[in-house]
Amino acid sequence: MYLFINSVYLSFEFCNFVRSTYFFIKTSLSLYLHPQKFLFTHFEHRIIMKIMKFGGTSVGKPERMHQVAQLITKTDEPKIVVLSALSGTTNALVGISDYLAARNKVEAKTSIDKLEAHYRDFVLLLASTEEARAKANAIVTEHFEFLNIILLISFSDALNKDILAQGELLSTKLFSVFLEEQGIAHELLPALDFMTIDEYEEPQLPNIREKLTAILSEHKSTKLFVTQGYICRNAKGEVDNLKRGGSDYTASLVAAAIKATVCEIWTDIDGMHNNDPRIVDKTLPIKQISFDEAAELAYFGAKILHPTCIWPAQLTNVPVKLLNTMQPEAEGTVITQEAGSVGVKAVAAKDGIIAIKIKSSRMLLAYGFLRKIFEVFEKYRTSIDMITTSEVAVSVTIDSNLHLEEIVKELELYGTVEVDTNQTIVSIVGNEISKTEHILQRLFESIAEIPVRMVSYGGSPHNVSLLVNSEFKIKTLQLLNKGLFGL
């Protein structure tokens, strides 16, 4: 862990309670906890193929799907297209699952019927020939029959995963029918044949590579493949998934597995911006950014890219491009190993943060105190985002309250514990930020009016993170936009 916890001593005039700060990001921690990811280094060669991933809104309407077909056939280089479920579907499936878990079969049935009706309408506009519509309707029938059968079975966690998998299975199969109708040659690759996770729910990259390359070599003359994002098989061989928003992860894993030339993530926004466009008036798109910077941004709220999806691409040095389906000509953002330029690139915020302070005079001059504290979080599989320490206290943040009660109870063995909910991490990200002249001065001067609960600096040279009460988030982002970007 010492690799990722890198402390620097700082003393800001207005926040001199902070003696040292530690910071590490989830992706680094995950690499540390799952060293098998490092084992995947013996690549043979780069397969000349690109990955194109389209999210829920990009396939959410029949006309959008038609546009996706155009986008993927613009060039004839070999490619694997990864699709999410139609927008709204996974949420609906989660709802159905929840009803079933609560034994509310009536509501579950109503939701299933409503979703089915949505797909019947979708098919009508997706395909234009009777033959293709019949094929598409048969697919819809097959999957909704499955959901209706589930109504009769007693609910289990495995069944829940089966339900959640229906969205990506439907979107890819329907898309395949449309491609076929258009005479576009392609192969539908079942992700369940090659995407696997281990007993810790970590993707098995070497295994994915082996399976996927074997499948691809069976289709040497095929130039276009379509597969499902999000779904996979777990260690027990059951259907599972890569967690919500996991289609980006699939794309990145597939790209890494075959060492693709590029991994394109197509969404409905034109790349990453320097600040949250929903909150501040003026934002600028970021043209180029490094994996390290993107990892920090992705975790801290830049919703455009799922944070887990950075490491596979980074490990295999596959550039990731963030592109906009609604504006395909726009440059978007490219994420590469190199940073391009030095300095602050973006500001991002993450809500729903809980700060926990553990205060104990036993910490004074003691060793092993932090380990004990960390072990409590490890026991409850809760990852820590920010850490700041003083001589007699340590504050950490977490983004899940799943085991908060148990964690607090155990921490109380080591000192007085205080919990602040409703906090927001505001993260300032940029290549070698720490070397940028007067950066801290500019930063803190611009937010002088904001009460800051924690400051984390020095964990990586690419990031400064602040913890503020969520009520100050908007103001903080606006002030930083002015102070750091002059916007």
Residue 244 C-beta: closest distance to Mg ion, Å:
8
* Angle between helices 291-299 and 26-33 in degrees, nearest 10: 110
Please report, as residue ranges, which positions from 229 to 248 form the binding site for ligand ASP (by CB under 6 A). 229-230, 244-247
x/- track of binding to ligand ASP for residues 263-302 (CB under 6 A):
----------------------------------------
x/- track of binding to ligand ASP for residues 205-234 (CB under 6 A):
------------------------xx----
x/- track of binding to ligand ASP for residues 77-116 (CB under 6 A):
-------xx----x--------------------------
Instruction: For residues 403 and 442, give the distance between their C-alpha atoms in angstroms, rounded to a whole number.
Output: 38
Is the CB of 83 or the CB of 450 nearer to ligand ASP? Answer: 83
Please report, as residue ranges, which positions from 395 to 434 form the binding site for ligand ASP (by CB under 6 A). none
Across-strand partners of 71? none
Q: Between the CA of residue 53 and those of 77, 84, 128, 404, 467, what are the distances in Å?
A: 15, 8, 25, 36, 33
Residue 118 C-beta: closest distance to ligand ASP, Å:
15
Total binding residues toward Mg ion, as defined by CB under 5 A: 2
Residue 455 C-beta: closest distance to ligand ASP, Å:
33
> Which entry of Mg ion, ligand ASP, none binds 483, CB below 5 to 8 A by partner kind?
none
Instruction: For residues 479 and 487, give the distance between their C-alpha atoms in angstroms, rounded to a whole number.
Output: 9
Question: What is the torsional sign of CA 69, 75, 81, 83?
Answer: negative
Is the CB of 245 or the CB of 271 nearer to Mg ion? Answer: 245
Residue 77 C-beta: closest distance to ligand ASP, Å:
24
SS3 category, 420 = strand
Is the CB of 246 or the CB of 430 nearer to ligand ASP? Answer: 246
Instruction: For residues 426 and 195, give the distance between their C-alpha atoms in angstroms, rounded to a whole number.
Output: 34
> Which entry of ligand ASP, Mg ion, none binds 476, CB below 5 to 8 A by partner kind?
none
Is the CB of 67 or the CB of 434 nearer to ligand ASP? Answer: 67
Name the nearest CA neighbour of 398 among 355, 357, 349.
355
Check: CB of residue 397 under 8 Å from CB of residue 377.
no
Stretch that binds Mg ion, among 68-76, 243-251, 314-322, 407-415 (CB under 5 A): 243-251
Stretch that binds Mg ion, among 55-63, 73-81, 167-175, 196-204 (CB under 5 A): 55-63
Residue 161 C-beta: closest distance to ligand ASP, Å:
12
Candidates 55, 246, 312, 332; binder of Mg ion (CB under 5 A) is: 55
DSSP-assigned letter for residue 203: B
Name the nearest CA neighbour of 263 among 255, 275, 271.
255
Across-strand partners of 406? none
Total binding residues toward ligand ASP, as defined by CB under 6 A: 12
Cβ neighbours for 460, distance < 8 A, ≥ 6 positions apart: 6, 23, 24, 25, 292, 296
Name the nearest CA neighbour of 388 among 91, 17, 117, 42.
17
Check: CB of residue 112 under 8 Å from CB of residue 147.
yes
> Which entry of ligand ASP, Mg ion, none binds 246, CB below 5 to 8 A by partner kind?
ligand ASP
Is the CB of 250 or the CB of 388 nearer to ligand ASP? Answer: 250
Name the nearest CA neighbour of 484 among 432, 426, 434, 445.
445
Residue 377 C-beta: closest distance to ligand ASP, Å:
26
Please report, as residue ranges, which positions from 244 to 263 form the binding site for Mg ion (by CB under 5 A). 245
Please report, as residue ranges, which positions from 156 to 185 form the binding site for ligand ASP (by CB under 6 A). 167
Is the CB of 62 or the CB of 229 nearer to ligand ASP? Answer: 229
> Which entry of ligand ASP, Mg ion, none binds 244, CB below 5 to 8 A by partner kind?
ligand ASP
Q: Between the CA of residue 477 and those of 96, 390, 467, what are the distances in Å?
A: 37, 27, 12
Give the DSSP per-residue string, 116-132. HHHHHHHHHHH--SHHH
Check: CB of residue 380 under 8 Å from CB of residue 403.
yes
Q: How many CB atoms lie within 10 A of CB 11?
A: 10
Residue 71 C-beta: closest distance to ligand ASP, Å:
18
Applying CB under 5 A, which residues contact Mg ion?
Answer: 55, 245
Applying CB under 6 A, which residues contact ligand ASP?
Answer: 55-56, 84-85, 90, 167, 229-230, 244-247
